[in-house]
Structure 1
Amino acid sequence: MILKSSILKHTFILGFCAFSFNAYSQVDTTKTQEPATIEEVEVVRDYRPVLADAVKIRRSPDLNNVRTQQPALRYNVLDKRLNFPSGMGQLTLQEMQSSRPGIMTNNYAKLGIGNFNSILGEIYINSGTDENYQTGFYAKHLNQKGDLENQKFSEQRIGIFGRSILEKITLSGELGFNRYGTAFYGVVPGAEDNPIITSDAQNQHFNDIFFVGELLKNYDPQDTDLSYSLKTDVYLFSDAFNAKENSFAISGYLNKAINVFNIGANVSADMASVKAADYSISNNLIRLNPYIRFQGNNYKITLGANFISESGETSRSNLFPLANLELDVVPEFVSIFGSVKGDVNRTSLRSLAQSNPYLNENIAIRNTIDRLNITAGVKGNVGATFGYKASVFYRKVEDLPLFVNSPNEPKKFDLIYDAGIDKATSISGLEGEINVRVSETVNIGGKLNISDYKLSTEREAWFMPKVQISSNARINISEKVFLNAEVLFAGETSAKTYDYSLAAIPVTDYTTADPIIKRVPAFADFSAGAEYRVNQQFGIFIQANNLLNSNYEKYLYYPRLGFNVFGGLNYSF
């Protein structure tokens, strides 16, 4: 055991010494460190690589060796989001806070006062933020009082409206109420002491509740499917003497485009009833207008028929031709047009009151028939600043409505008709219209109408002027100052009336007296206005009417207001 332990001990000592010797031999103690030096290399000549002959390919290329099959290449593009090692994450959409636009000019309010006790108030509100969906509200009040006894006027309007443009169709509608008030203030010479003439002051007002709605297919030039529309018009109309008119009308059209052809039809049903103190009637019209249209780049021709059926107080059917032509002689500059048609025009209490508010009670209602209506003319543009339209027309009319002073109440007007048995009323004349844009800030427009009447039973076309001219202009002097002007001229007219003095007419009933003709002089009415914008919200306006201070008459015995002016403030928001 002692011997084995000694042998292990000497073996361990010898191994340790060998390890120490090997580790010490890795260090070169004889080598000394010398500093690094930069040696210069001199280039004797440029290096020119020379390929050995054994490496050269001595074979000409074979140009006829064409690959007979092209490999099919496939690409596999991976749709992956890159992950940046910088730690930048995916960008997210930052939601903006809803804010009201800085300036909105869709809405405004106006308030003004003037002479003749004029008071004007107006407000208009429109949502306006979305072109495809709009709703709004409007209201207006205006009243005036002249120098003559009971010469007063008042007007109120209020309504709501909306429009929605959907992908295929557009819906629109309006619900409103209009009221107009006045009085029978007419001045009748020689009637003050005549006991037959009613001299009591009476007031008149008209109430009009209405609704208009429309469904229209949106226009798409790439879509040749069926086009269509549907419209309804309803109103309830009444006056101070319990005369009432109710109307419900629905209309629509269908159109199908086939290459250069359009085939379609217009259809409508208009049902109305009129109730007065002494009568109650119904007046219904049903229309059917089929047509075919040929349309190209420079022409449009429409051929069809107009079938109209009347029912109610009068029952009859009418069939009229319908033809329209429009041809571009010089595209975008000169076009000629013409039409031949016939129609039945419904006489309504509502439209009569809008034209003449001094109606008598128990107005006779009878429809007017256009047996023939021919129009031909030319229209176009001269550059981008001048547009024009001129035409001549000829009409054959049955039962032309005319206003005349009532025999025993000259301040009120009856309605009579030129009802020829053998021939209808002939109306011929010409119409013209121009629009001139002198510059970006000046616009001028004007209209002209000249008519000649040949009647069957009446001597003249009462209260219908042969010449009418209207013109308007708008000038933007600067971004803050705006001017507008308007002129209306109407030629001389004739009135069918009576001499109401006791010395001239000794009868007690003017219905048995012979009528006389009085001339209503021609008149011109000039008006002008100006607006100054203090800032983007507030403005100041002024409006002056009848600048010539002329007490002209549109209807006999009813002089209009003289020079009147009013002004005030408007606010846009």
Structure 2
Amino acid sequence: MILKPSMFKYTLLIGLGFYSLTAFSQEEEQIPTEETQGKLGEIEVIRDYKPILADAVKIRQSPDLTNNRKYFSKPNYNIFDKKLDINTGTHRLEIQQVPPSRPDILTNNYAKIGVGNFNTLLGEVYISNGEDEALQVGGFIKHLSQKGSDFEGQNFGEQKIGLFGRSILEKITLNGEVGFNRYATRYYGFVPTLPDLNPDPIKQHYNDIYIKGELNSNHEDNEELLSYSLKADGYLFGNAFSAKENSFALSGNINKKVNAFNVGANISGDFTNVKSQDLSLGNHIARVNPYIRFQGKNYKITLGAALVSEFGGDETRNNIFPAVDVDFALVPEYASLYAGVKGDAVKTSYRSLANENPFLSETPFIDTTNNTLVVRNMLEKLNVFGGIKGNAGATLGYKIGVFYKQLSDVPLYAINPNNPTRYDIIYDRDEKNTVFGFEGDINLRISEAFSLGGNLLFNEYDMKNEAEAWFIPKLRVAANTRINISKKVYIDGELFFNDAMKAKSYNKFVGITTGDPNAPVTVSMPAFVDISAGIEYRATKQIGVYVRGNNLLSNNYERFLYYPRLGFNVIGGVNVSF
């Protein structure tokens, strides 16, 4: 190795440091003297150069972990559920789980098959290009079907297929997905007082074709740069009859740092058309949310307003809501206080309602009194919230908060007065409806082998026109855990508690023979607990065998009145990673 004169002085200083602290057992070297130091043009080193710093010159300053950047572009991941969903209706609350420990060998693809009681059949395949973070391309396909034995027509079927992609370029990140979902069942509702009411349940299915894409500016060290994002979503949704909903939504964000604060705006437009029989109705919502954000080392204050316009339907409404958020680090990195005041128009979507309750009428939203379509968005006139959130290292994350809302046009499920196996959408239009509640989330990871997550939501509704908030429980609790017993054995479990609910029925359906048979009556639905658990044995690094049990307590509960859910069911099979 030849050292040029420009590098000589640095080499000499390092060499002197080594010589003063360490004696080498290699052959003797000639050390430049004061006389010869300025005359030498080059030095030939006859051994490998191995720099070693003494303790005295090592850096002792600890890194400042609180010096965080103030803006990061929000990443988006395509993560797909790999666990069995038996459609028990208990998946309304989604818990952000701590990811399990990674397997010894990372794989890009997997396939799963399984069979069980109730004629359960499961098949699932997921394929991607690899672990290149800059480019992700893949697809998935899933089939799940079941057939109950207690009630005629108690059938369920679900199919999903999709393609996704993600590309990180120099200045932007692109995400996209296109897919098709199908869910099929029958109107198998069973009324105990009228056992012969529904001898041949009618088939129902929902088709959902969707496409979505997102563009985000990549994070730059220079905070003075303009950050932006753009997102587009569209879908075609329809049932087995004439009901359809088509929607296209476009939203964007722009943010610029100016001196000590950020100025930005969120802009969105949601354009939806609902069709049923020969009727059609538009349900469009446009939003503009300008804001200014003050941000310091331990605080962030956002002040703004939301201008929301609803148009295209039988009503046109324009509202201005506050948009205020405050976040203060009570104990930096461990606990932060948050609070805010806001409002919005929440879209009433046939797609989202049918995903929660597939037993809606064949022609929803039709007002039979005047043969018109009626779609009303819920208005959150006021939403005040606050709480505390934070973490304790890498093992514990939590969030606890309370909220108070003033609502109008609250959509609720109600049994059709002429057919108890069908559900209609009704609205409590009073502007003084309120709901008070609190919520909590916790994620605990004790070790690489054990993780625990939980979510709690409590609601106390005060409805003005309707007697109750139909089919909305006051309390929901969900919990999950995963335990890695060894490198080959994994156990996971889930618990869901749904508090008692109130349902709106009629005298003629509950066996009341006195008075008006069409008079409404409140039916109490008991609380229920649904517990599921599974175990997987990894026979090899690529092949695993699993067994999963659902509704382990075999509770004969109802999420919606007159629609009993499946009892204890089990499924087992094989999954292969490749």
State the shift of 1:125 in Å.
0.2
The equivalent residue for 1:190 is 193
Give the letter aligned to residue 289 of structure 2. N
The equivalent residue for 2:505 is 497
Q: Tell me how far apart the structure 1 counterparts of residues 356 and 114 of structure 2 sit (CA, whole Å).
A: 26
State the shift of 1:259 in Å.
3.2
Q: Tell me how far apart the structure 2 counterparts of residues 536 and 570 of structure 1 sit (CA, whole Å).
A: 11
Q: Tell me how far apart the structure 2 counterparts of residues 210 and 248 of structure 1 sit (CA, whole Å).
A: 10
The equivalent residue for 1:484 is 492
The equivalent residue for 1:543 is 548
| 1:295-317 C-alpha deviation (Å, 9 max, x unpaired) | 11100000000001111112121
State the shift of 1:459 in Å.
0.5
The equivalent residue for 1:123 is 125
Give the letter aligned to residue 176 of structure 1. G
Q: Tell me how far apart the structure 2 counterparts of residues 506 and 161 of structure 1 sit (CA, whole Å).
A: 59
2:389 pairs, out of 364, 376, 379, with 379
Count of residues in Structure 1 that have an aligned counterpart in Structure 2 = 468
How do 1:548-567 residues align onto structure 2 when only pairs under 5 Å count? 548-567=553-572
Q: Tell me how far apart the structure 1 counterparts of residues 267 and 301 of structure 2 sit (CA, whole Å).
A: 20
| 1:74-129 C-alpha deviation (Å, 9 max, x unpaired) | x9x99xxxxxxxxxxxxxxxxxxxxxxx9551200000000000000000000014
Distance of aligned partners of 1:503 and 1:144 in 2 relative to their CA distance in 1, 3 Å threshold: closer
The equivalent residue for 1:248 is 248
Corresponding residue SS for 2:351:
helix
Percent of pairs identical after alignment? 52
The equivalent residue for 2:268 is 268
State the shift of 1:506 in Å.
8.2
1:144 pairs, out of 130, 143, 146, with 146
Give the letter aligned to residue 245 of structure 2. E
Q: Tell me how far apart the structure 1 counterparts of residues 198 and 478 of structure 2 sit (CA, whole Å).
A: 37
Distance of aligned partners of 1:169 and 1:149 in 2 relative to their CA distance in 1, 3 Å threshold: same
Q: Tell me how far apart the structure 2 counterparts of residues 352 and 502 of structure 1 sit (CA, whole Å).
A: 26
| 1:443-465 C-alpha deviation (Å, 9 max, x unpaired) | 00111111101011000011000
Corresponding residue SS for 1:106:
coil
Q: Tell me how far apart the structure 2 counterparts of residues 501 and 404 of structure 1 sit (CA, whole Å).
A: 13
| 1:46-87 C-alpha deviation (Å, 9 max, x unpaired) | xxxxxxxxxxxxxxxxxxxxxxxxxxxxx9x99xxxxxxxxx
1:159 has 2:167 as partner: no
Across the aligned residues of Structure 1 and Structure 2, the Cα RMSD in angstroms comes to 2.0
Corresponding residue SS for 1:459:
coil
State the shift of 1:483 in Å.
0.8
State the shift of 1:277 in Å.
2.0
Q: Tell me how far apart the structure 2 counterparts of residues 426 and 379 of structure 1 sit (CA, whole Å).
A: 25
1:341 has 2:335 as partner: no
Unaligned 5+ residue runs, structure 1?
A: 1-74, 79-101
State the shift of 1:383 in Å.
3.9
Q: Tell me how far apart the structure 2 counterparts of residues 311 and 327 of structure 1 sit (CA, whole Å).
A: 38
1:469 has 2:477 as partner: yes
How do 1:200-239 residues align onto structure 2 when only pairs under 5 Å count? 200-239=200-239
The equivalent residue for 2:75 is none
Q: Tell me how far apart the structure 1 counterparts of residues 475 and 271 of structure 2 sit (CA, whole Å).
A: 35
Corresponding residue SS for 2:519:
coil
Cα contact 1:191–1:500 (8 A) shared by 2: no
| 1:11-46 C-alpha deviation (Å, 9 max, x unpaired) | xxxxxxxxxxxxxxxxxxxxxxxxxxxxxxxxxxxx
State the shift of 1:200 in Å.
4.2
1:410 has 2:420 as partner: yes
Q: Tell me how far apart the structure 2 counterparts of residues 109 and 224 of structure 1 sit (CA, whole Å).
A: 46
Distance of aligned partners of 1:129 and 1:325 in 2 relative to their CA distance in 1, 3 Å threshold: closer
Q: Tell me how far apart the structure 1 counterparts of residues 523 and 577 of structure 2 sit (CA, whole Å).
A: 49
Distance of aligned partners of 1:185 and 1:255 in 2 relative to their CA distance in 1, 3 Å threshold: same
Corresponding residue SS for 2:353:
helix
Corresponding residue SS for 2:267:
strand
Q: Tell me how far apart the structure 1 counterparts of residues 472 and 230 of structure 2 sit (CA, whole Å).
A: 35
Name the TM-score, length of structure 1 as normaliser.
0.79
Corresponding residue SS for 1:141:
strand
| 1:148-167 C-alpha deviation (Å, 9 max, x unpaired) | 21001000000001111000
Cα contact 2:239–2:362 (8 A) shared by 1: no
Q: Tell me how far apart the structure 1 counterparts of residues 545 and 509 of structure 2 sit (CA, whole Å).
A: 50
State the shift of 1:479 in Å.
1.0
Unaligned 5+ residue runs, structure 2?
A: 1-38, 43-103, 366-374
| 1:531-559 C-alpha deviation (Å, 9 max, x unpaired) | 11111111111111000001110100011
Corresponding residue SS for 1:460:
coil
2:113 pairs, out of 105, 111, 118, with 111
Q: Tell me how far apart the structure 2 counterparts of residues 199 and 120 of structure 1 sit (CA, whole Å).
A: 29
Q: Tell me how far apart the structure 2 counterparts of residues 213 and 127 of structure 1 sit (CA, whole Å).
A: 19
2:376 pairs, out of 366, 377, 393, with 366
The equivalent residue for 1:63 is none
Corresponding residue SS for 1:471:
strand
Corresponding residue SS for 2:452:
strand
Give the letter aligned to residue 551 of structure 2. N
The equivalent residue for 1:280 is 280
Distance of aligned partners of 1:522 and 1:502 in 2 relative to their CA distance in 1, 3 Å threshold: closer
1:176 pairs, out of 155, 174, 179, with 179
The equivalent residue for 1:399 is 409
1:532 has 2:537 as partner: yes
State the shift of 1:500 in Å.
2.8
Cα contact 1:198–1:408 (8 A) shared by 2: no
State the shift of 1:176 in Å.
0.1
Q: Tell me how far apart the structure 1 counterparts of residues 488 and 255 of structure 2 sit (CA, whole Å).
A: 47
Q: Tell me how far apart the structure 2 counterparts of residues 157 and 103 of structure 1 sit (CA, whole Å).
A: 27
Distance of aligned partners of 1:159 and 1:503 in 2 relative to their CA distance in 1, 3 Å threshold: closer
Q: Tell me how far apart the structure 1 counterparts of residues 235 and 139 of structure 2 sit (CA, whole Å).
A: 19
State the shift of 1:502 in Å.
10
Cα contact 1:441–1:476 (8 A) shared by 2: yes
The equivalent residue for 2:101 is none
Q: Tell me how far apart the structure 2 counterparts of residues 520 and 456 of structure 1 sit (CA, whole Å).
A: 21
Q: Tell me how far apart the structure 2 counterparts of residues 471 and 103 of structure 1 sit (CA, whole Å).
A: 29
Give the letter aligned to residue 122 of structure 2. L
Name the TM-score, length of structure 2 as normaliser.
0.78
Cα contact 1:189–1:500 (8 A) shared by 2: no
Corresponding residue SS for 1:350:
helix
| 1:457-513 C-alpha deviation (Å, 9 max, x unpaired) | 000011000011000001111111111000000100000001336974589x96xx2
State the shift of 1:279 in Å.
2.5
Q: Tell me how far apart the structure 1 counterparts of residues 437 and 195 of structure 2 sit (CA, whole Å).
A: 41
Cα contact 1:278–1:362 (8 A) shared by 2: no
Q: Tell me how far apart the structure 1 counterparts of residues 252 and 421 of structure 2 sit (CA, whole Å).
A: 42
| 1:321-368 C-alpha deviation (Å, 9 max, x unpaired) | 110000001101111000100000110100000110000133222111
Q: Tell me how far apart the structure 2 counterparts of residues 502 and 393 of structure 1 sit (CA, whole Å).
A: 36
The equivalent residue for 2:134 is 132
Corresponding residue SS for 2:508:
coil
Distance of aligned partners of 1:270 and 1:501 in 2 relative to their CA distance in 1, 3 Å threshold: closer
**Greater Cα offset, 115-124 or 496-505:** 496-505
Distance of aligned partners of 1:503 and 1:337 in 2 relative to their CA distance in 1, 3 Å threshold: closer
Cα contact 2:153–2:200 (8 A) shared by 1: no
Q: Tell me how far apart the structure 2 counterparts of residues 439 and 523 of structure 1 sit (CA, whole Å).
A: 32
Corresponding residue SS for 1:351:
helix
